[in-house]
Structure 1
Amino acid sequence: MTKSDTDVPAGPRRRLLDLAQERGASLAGLSELIGRNPSYLQQFIRKGSPRKLEEGDRRTLARFFGVAESELAGPGEISYEPPSNPADPRGSPWIEVPRLAIGASAGPGALPAGESAFDAFRFSRRWLAEQGLEGAELSAITVEGDSMEPLLNDGDEILVDRRALPFRDGIHVVRMGDTLMVKRVASAGGGRLSLLSQNLAYPPVSVAAEDVEIIGRVVWKGGRI
């Protein structure tokens, strides 16, 4: 370590220099990695110019070294750092939820048109974690019909958590034969389930549990006001 190295103050500049030396990476090479001129990081570390790393540069360097982005940031430079996710090496703060080409009937029932994704909703990873949905297997489908009004309206989009979790009463998407429905599902005892509509014009339906496939639990809805 040279005398000029020891003059670098503690903080992001010092941490970047230490990481580069530990990895045996040149500052010129790291500058090229982030698309800058070869002397860019040399100037940042030795002279404090620029005063801080740009967000994109900081993120690229953090991924290269396998460290948290906050290690290369000064106080207040990061308002939120997404948690690491081994299944998503990009460390994106967003999760894309596929919109499936399926209508879940909230009326007499409808035949599914297929399960291919035609679009996606993007949700904040942090927001999903706050809702208890971190790691959930989510799909978005459209509500069709009026039997779940006013809770769910025709045309609403719903998020369905398709994880195989222990059953509990709630709003679920279920399949009976070739028919996909969204209903409030409650245990009726004796191996039977009650499929309940919010709209009182639709009477409850009692079915044997083995005749119903529970696709997933409805955990969120969105629609026009």
Structure 2
Amino acid sequence: MGRKPVSKTEFSQRLTAVREALGHESRKAFAGVLGMNPETLGGYERGDSSPDMQFLARYKQDFAVNLDWLITGDGDMFQSSAGSAQGLPAPIMDFNQPDFVRLPVYNDVHASAGPGMVPASEQADGVVAFTRRFLANQGARPDHCSVIWARGTSMKPTIPDGALLVVDHSQREVEHGCIYVFNVSDRLLVKRARWRLDGRLELVSDNADEGYPVETFGAESVDQLRVVGRVVYFGRTP
């Protein structure tokens, strides 16, 4: 087993403690929620680099982190009026409360925004906690969601390479214009669905600059296509 990375400063130790207190074992998944590069977050948590005030403000606004404690160690980790302004994972230690749902994270499963990736594993690698209200506001059924990752450039600029995807597996009836994860002959693809007037289904890429082909499915080829679920949320990375 590899050694756990050591934080070099007390500030970086507190930054790591916040993530773990929020129920995020996976740094990569938490970086996806924040919409930032996991290596950048890792640099902050190891003490290799220092975040700016805009980054710290997000911890205060989204997770009610007490910045006095985060910077100096004085006081409590969270503000007394804890609550998440955006409905994202909030500073409450007991994630078994009914307001929260813990979504399984599949680090080795990538929905390709490109030519298509074969899933390497279906074993969950961790969890990410979201409030049920936040997921419901995205049109999701919280108990039927999981987290995977996008790989490739075909869905840019909507979904960048490396984005965290929250997929609602209960939504398998394809609606025109929505984004889904499809299993096409064991390739996982994240594509926008487009119904044609003749009843055929087209899987379309949002990236119009790189000439990605449209895949079309009719009654004769529908057995090659399985709807994994609808993408209800994605975290951007810079």
Fold-level similarity (TM above 0.5): yes
The answer to whether structure 1 residue 222 and structure 2 residue 220 are counterparts is no
Corresponding residue for 1:130?
137
- Which of 199, 203, 218 in structure 1 is aligned with 2:213? 203
Once residues 186 and 138 of structure 2 are traced to their aligned partners in structure 1, the CA distance between those partners, rounded to angstroms, is 31
Report Cα offsets for 1:139-164 as digits up to 9, x if no partner: 11100111111111110011111005
4+ aligned runs moved over 4 Å, structure 1: 77-80
2: distance between equivalents of 1:129 and 1:120?
18
1:183 counterpart = 2:191: yes
Number of residue pairs aligned between Structure 1 and Structure 2: 140
- Who is 2:65 aligned against? none
Q: Residues 163 and 146 (structure 1 numbering): CA distance in 2 closer, same or farther, change over 3 Å?
A: same
Matched ranges for 1:116-155 at <5 A: 116-155=123-162
Secondary structure in 1 matching 2:150: strand
Structure 1: how far apart are the matches of 2:237 and 2:150? Answer: 13
Distance 2:147 2:130 in 1: 12
Partner of residue 92, structure 1: 98
| In structure 1, C-alpha distance between the alignment counterparts of 2:97 and 2:161, rounded to whole Å | 36
Task: Measure, in 2, the Cα distance between the counterparts of 1:137 and 1:156.
Answer: 20
Does the Cα contact within 8 Å between 2:201 and 2:217 map onto a contact in 1?
yes
In the TM superposition, what whole-angstrom CA distance separates every residue of 1:106-138 from its partner, at most 9, and x where no partner exists? 111111112111011110122223333244510
Preserved CA contact (<8 Å) 2:113 2:189: yes
SS of 1:174's partner is strand
Deviations 1:193-216 (A, max 9, x none): 111101112132222251311111
For structure 2, list consecutive stretches of 5 or more residues without a partner in the other structure. Answer: 1-80, 85-95
**SS state at 1:121 partner:** strand
Q: What is aligned with 2:58?
A: none
Percent identity, aligned pairs only, is 35
Decide whether aligned partners of structure 1 residues 130 and 208 sit closer, same or farther in structure 2, where only a CA change above 3 A counts.
same
User: TM-score when scaled to structure 2?
Assistant: 0.53
Write out per-residue CA displacement over residues 82-104 of structure 1, whole angstroms, 9 at most, x where no aligned residue. Answer: xxxxxxxx543221111113011
Q: Higher Cα Rg: structure 1 or 2?
A: 1
Q: Is the 8 Å Cα contact of residues 185 and 193 (structure 1) preserved in structure 2? A: yes
> Which residue in the other structure is 2:25 paired with?
none
Are 1:167 and 2:180 counterparts? no
Query: Is the 2:101–2:142 contact (alpha carbons within 8 Å) kept by the matching residues of 1?
Result: no
Q: Is the 8 A contact 2:141 2:170 kept in 1?
A: no
Secondary structure of the residue aligned to 1:126 is helix
1: CA distance, partners of 2:197 / 2:225: 15
Q: Per the alignment, in what secondary structure is the counterpart of residue 117 of structure 1?
A: coil
Query: 1:136, 1:162 within 8 Å by CA — same for their partners in 2?
Result: no
Matched position secondary structure for 2:125: strand
